[in-house]
Amino acid sequence: MASETFHAAVAVATLCAAAMLAAGAVASPEEGCRKHVAKVTEYGAVGDGKRLNTAAFAKAVADLSKHAGDGGAALVVPRGRWLTGPFNLTSHFTLFLDEGAEILASQDMDDWPLIAPLPSYGRGRDAPGPRYSNFISGSNLTDVIITGRNGTIDGQGQVWWDKYRAKELKYTRGYLLELLYSDNILIYNVTFKDSPSWNLHPTYCTNVTISGVTILAPVHSANTDGIDPDSSSHVKIEDCYIVSGDDCVAVKSGWDQYGIEFNMPSQHILIRRLTCISPTSAMIALGSEMSGGIRDVRAEDNTAIDTESAVRVKSGVGRGGFVKDIFVRGLSLHTMKWVFWMTGNYGQHPDNSSNPNALPEVTNINYSDVFAENVTMAGRMEGIPNDPYTGICISNVTANLAPHAKKLQWNCTDVKGVTSDVMPEPCPELRGEEGKSCAFPEDELAIGPAELPKCSYYYY
């Protein structure tokens, strides 16, 4: 051990001991621990599932934010049921949920303030105008970690789904976690549950790692997307397990003319070893909001069980932008309606000012090494008339059909590309090219934070 490192470790150990005496919670002195640690109970929180702890969370974060320039701080949420309204995070900060810790979102809409819509969307996604706050938010942050011993952040979304479906909501539902303009975000070993709408929404962010995260929502809940990287780059999603009523992962980049104007793509995104269950949606969607562009998405070794489609492109006239340089290698699919699905008429526009000449460019979409079983239809490939989806490459695919599979296995319109070693036999628009193996980049994407910190927080 270099002597500087040794002294640093001793210093951390000493400060952690000081924090223990002060706070009753302590960081083990491995590298990566925050210098300051506090329990949410020190700010008056009560974990009985009834008492509303909004003020305690706000006070804790405000107080701990003072340490941002001095080794950062961790807020420990112990075992218990901690009911709260929405709250914000801060920089150089760890939210640590111990085993058995559950942060429960208030179901009282009066606890949810209104916030401005995203500039790249121009309005709320469910309704025009402002939107309800997200449950947990952060803007312009750096170095944020959400982790622990697999505690749960529970959006208690049933009331929101019911009201949304009954058209009783005047404003757009909040997301469970939304981070804006932030970098160096790490989310691991934590469970997110029953979001009112989308679960994790990193937007205008860079260097986001989401690892070993569980996301659960009833498969018929409304718009409970798992992870939606939006106008964000260098995002890694790995070893996650998602059960959802909407797309497990949806890469996005703004909506029609607002997204075109904002012009911030989602790019350099790696999604690997995902397990997805979503009977009415995709394992990975690209779009439908893609007006700032989506490029360089790499999906590797992903599994879907009882999911509607695998890696789906969703776009339409008015979106503009692009979806290109998409690489998918290794899909294991069990019970699937459409193994390959591309959509060119997705619809859903923010208002009547979408530009009918804003045609998306969809090109260079490569898939290889796909095994699927109990499939209803191999390919439903619909590009845009006069704006075909091109450069599609599909190789080494075996799709075993369901007992009640469609007679027509591929239906292709306004798409162009090549296929090799694909069963069942593809449509003529995807011309056979024997021996072709579709590309997957060999270089590694450099996505920070590079390593998961070994730090853990415990009690005496």
Give least dist CB 133 to ligand NAG, A.
5
Nearer to ligand NAG, 99 or 108 (CB): 99
Nearer to ligand NAG, 18 or 448 (CB): 448
Q: Does 86 bind ligand NAG (CB under 6 A)?
A: yes
Q: Does 371 bind ligand NAG (CB under 6 A)?
A: yes
Binding ligand NAG (rule: CB under 6 A), the pick from 32, 218, 391, 453 is 391
Give least dist CB 279 to ligand NAG, A.
9
Q: Which range of residues in 2-10, 30-38, 73-81, 82-90 is near ligand NAG by CB under 6 A?
A: 82-90
Nearest to 73 by CA among 91, 53, 98: 91
Element (H, E) at 162: helix 158-165
Q: Does 263 bind ligand NAG (CB under 6 A)?
A: no
**Residue 183 falls in the annotated catalytic set:** no
> Residue 109 phi/psi, 5° resolution?
-60, -25
Give least dist CB 376 to ligand NAG, A.
5
Q: Does 292 bind ligand NAG (CB under 6 A)?
A: no
Give least dist CB 113 to ligand NAG, A.
5
In the set 126, 246, 247, 256, the catalytic residue is 246
Nearer to ligand NAG, 18 or 100 (CB): 100
Question: Scanning the structure block, which residue is given the tokens 């997805």?
Answer: 276
Residue 180 corresponds to which tokens in the numbers above? 């804006």
- Parallel/antiparallel/unpaired status of strands 114-115 and 131-132: antiparallel
Q: Does 202 bind ligand NAG (CB under 6 A)?
A: no
Give least dist CB 116 to ligand NAG, A.
8
Binding ligand NAG (rule: CB under 6 A), the pick from 65, 90, 120, 189 is 189
Q: Does 137 bind ligand NAG (CB under 6 A)?
A: yes
- Parallel/antiparallel/unpaired status of strands 233-238 and 266-272: parallel
Q: Does 438 bind ligand NAG (CB under 6 A)?
A: yes
Site string for ligand NAG, 106-125 (x = CB under 6 A): -------x-x----------
Nearer to ligand NAG, 249 or 370 (CB): 370
Residue 246: CA count within 13 A, CB half-sphere: 22
Q: Does 435 bind ligand NAG (CB under 6 A)?
A: no
Which letter does DSSP use for residue 222 in this model? T
Q: Does 400 bind ligand NAG (CB under 6 A)?
A: no
Q: Does 386 bind ligand NAG (CB under 6 A)?
A: no
Element (H, E) at 215: strand 214-216
Q: Does 56 bind ligand NAG (CB under 6 A)?
A: no
Q: How far is CA 399 from CA 251, 392, 415, 425, in A?
A: 25, 18, 20, 10
Q: Does 201 bind ligand NAG (CB under 6 A)?
A: no
Q: Does 418 bind ligand NAG (CB under 6 A)?
A: yes
Residue 26 corresponds to which tokens in the numbers above? 């302590």
Residue 344 corresponds to which tokens in the numbers above? 């060119």
456: exposed, middle or buried (Cβ count in 10 Å: 0-12, 13-18, 19+): middle
- Binders of ligand NAG among residues 24 to 53 (CB under 6 A) are none
Question: Scanning the structure block, which residue is given the tokens 């223990």?
Answer: 20
Binding ligand NAG (rule: CB under 6 A), the pick from 234, 295, 298, 324 is 234
Q: Does 149 bind ligand NAG (CB under 6 A)?
A: yes
Residue 239 corresponds to which tokens in the numbers above? 């070893």
Do residues 127 and 172 make contact, with C-beta atoms less than 8 angstroms apart? yes
Residue 49 corresponds to which tokens in the numbers above? 């599932």
Q: How far is CA 297 from CA 249, 286, 368, in A?
A: 12, 9, 14
- CB closest to ligand NAG, residue no: 448
Binding ligand NAG (rule: CB under 6 A), the pick from 71, 88, 158, 361 is 88
Q: Does 291 bind ligand NAG (CB under 6 A)?
A: no
Residue 301 corresponds to which tokens in the numbers above? 């070794």
Measured at the alpha carbon of residue 435, what is the angle toward residues 433 and 436, in degrees to the nearest 5? 65
Nearer to ligand NAG, 18 or 406 (CB): 406
Q: How many CB atoms lie within 10 A of CB 325?
A: 18
Q: Does 423 bind ligand NAG (CB under 6 A)?
A: no
Q: Does 448 bind ligand NAG (CB under 6 A)?
A: yes
Q: Which range of residues in 7-15, 28-36, 255-263, 438-446 is near ligand NAG by CB under 6 A?
A: 438-446
Nearest to 301 by CA among 202, 372, 199, 369: 369
CA distance 232 to 32: 25
20: three-class secondary structure by DSSP: helix
Q: What is 241-258 written as a DSSP string?
A: EEE-SS-SEEEB---HHH
272: exposed, middle or buried (Cβ count in 10 Å: 0-12, 13-18, 19+): middle
Q: Does 349 bind ligand NAG (CB under 6 A)?
A: no
Q: Which residues are tagged catalytic?
A: 246
Which residues of the chain form contacts with ligand NAG (CB under 6 A)? 86-88, 99, 113, 115, 133, 137, 139-140, 149-150, 181, 183-184, 189, 191, 206-207, 212, 214, 234, 335, 351-352, 364, 366, 369-371, 374, 376, 382, 391, 393, 396, 402, 408, 411, 413, 417-418, 438-439, 446, 448, 450
